[in-house]
Amino acid sequence: MASMNGTDAVAHWKQIDQQNIGKRVELSPSTDAWMQGDRYGEIVRTTVRLSGNNTLDPRDAYPVFVAVRLDSGRTIRVHESLVTIVDETDDQREYRMRMGL
């Protein structure tokens, strides 16, 4: 793989992470929100942060944070490793829409 400069790498990761906006996620049990009962939500934004020059894995050099709108209405920002994308059936989606979640 050809090496990328910092600007190209950030643009590359932003393009990849924009694909996840709007997806349903479950928070990791290690988060405070999960312990308080806010377990599911939807990704509303992604942010790529520059933090050094780690050449082992470009993903480590540019950590990605996601803003998640939880079912309770709160929005929190967490590292991408603390969310898991979940598949949602049509029935579950319809129920969530009817309940206003």
Q: How many residues make up the chain in this entry?
A: 101
Q: What is the tens place of the pLDDT at every residue in 61-93?
A: 567 888 999 989 999 999 888 998 887 666 666
- Cut 0.85: pTM above it: no
Given a cut of 60, whether residue 1 has pLDDT beyond it is: no
Q: What is the tens place of the pLDDT at every residue in 20-51?
A: 788 889 999 999 999 999 899 999 988 776 65
Query: Could you tell me the residue ranges of all domains in the chain?
Result: 6-99
The CATH architecture that domain 6-99 belongs to is Roll (2.30)
Question: 3-16 burial, b if ≥16 CB within 10 A, otherwise e?
Answer: eeeeeebbeebeee
